[in-house]
Amino acid sequence: MSIGAVLIFIFVIPKDSSTTLKILIPVDHSPDPQIAVDGAVSIAQTLECQELIFTLLHVGEEDRFPNVITPQRNIWQWKKTYGHGNVEQQILQAADECRSDLFVMATQGHHGFLDALRGSTTERIVRNSKCPVLAVPAYRNEEPSSQDSVVRRPAV
């Protein structure tokens, strides 16, 4: 894939589906994890999903878990889990363990020479994931105002 290319994936859930949708959201302090949480919530609302399990995964120490705001709905569940070791391996392992239907990850692109060669964490997850990945861009220099939502619901 070339720099600046855009991939579009269509994620379809049947209206009569009684299954619970499981969304894995890997979080860290950078990029801002709230962007991924907001993206997952936006997808859930857009698809009018009822039963959802959101799993927030932090690879690192438990006491360093990033603070995020998790909107509450009657049938939505929010879980936190931790991993240690290689970030990519921990994310993919967690997806298998919780049987994720979708990843939602904040991404801010490459960080230096190695990322340019092997790809960012998000790019490596996209390449190796067994389920769809929604990569939500986190722009460093743009701070949304408190009145603006980071993720916008598309017009239908």
Segment 37-87, tens digit of pLDDT: 999 999 888 888 878 999 999 999 999 999 999 998 888 999 999 999 999
Total H helices, total E strands in the chain: 4, 5
Tell me, yes or no, whether 153 lies in a domain: no
How far is 90 from 40, CA to CA, in rounded Å?
20
Which pLDDT does position 156 carry in this prediction? 42
pTM for this one?
0.75
Which is higher by pLDDT, 100 or 1?
Answer: 100
Which pLDDT does position 145 carry in this prediction? 44
Which pLDDT does position 147 carry in this prediction? 44
DSSP 18: -
Tell me, yes or no, whether 16 lies in a domain: no
Q: Where are the alpha helices (DSSP H) in 18-105?
A: 33-46, 87-97
CATH number of residue 131's parent domain: 3.40.50.620
Tell me, yes or no, whether 4 lies in a domain: no
What domain range includes position 121?
21-136
Tell me, yes or no, whether 12 lies in a domain: no
Q: What number is the average pLDDT over the span 17-31?
A: 86
Residue 90 has pLDDT above 50, yes or no: yes
Tell me, yes or no, whether 92 lies in a domain: yes
Tell me, yes or no, whether 129 lies in a domain: yes
Q: Cβ(21)–Cβ(49) under 8 Å?
A: yes
In percent, the amount of the chain with pLDDT more than 90 equals 46
Q: Cβ(11)–Cβ(44) under 8 Å?
A: no
Q: Cβ(86)–Cβ(48) under 8 Å?
A: no
Single-letter code of the amino acid located at 64:
R
Tell me, yes or no, whether 8 lies in a domain: no
pLDDT digits (tens, 9 = 90+) for 107-118: 876 666 555 555
Report how many domains make up the chain: 1
Tell me, yes or no, whether 115 lies in a domain: yes
33: exposed, middle or buried (Cβ count in 10 Å: 0-12, 13-18, 19+):
buried
Which is higher by pLDDT, 149 or 59?
Answer: 59
Residue 138 has pLDDT above 70, yes or no: yes
Q: Cβ(156)–Cβ(44) under 8 Å?
A: no
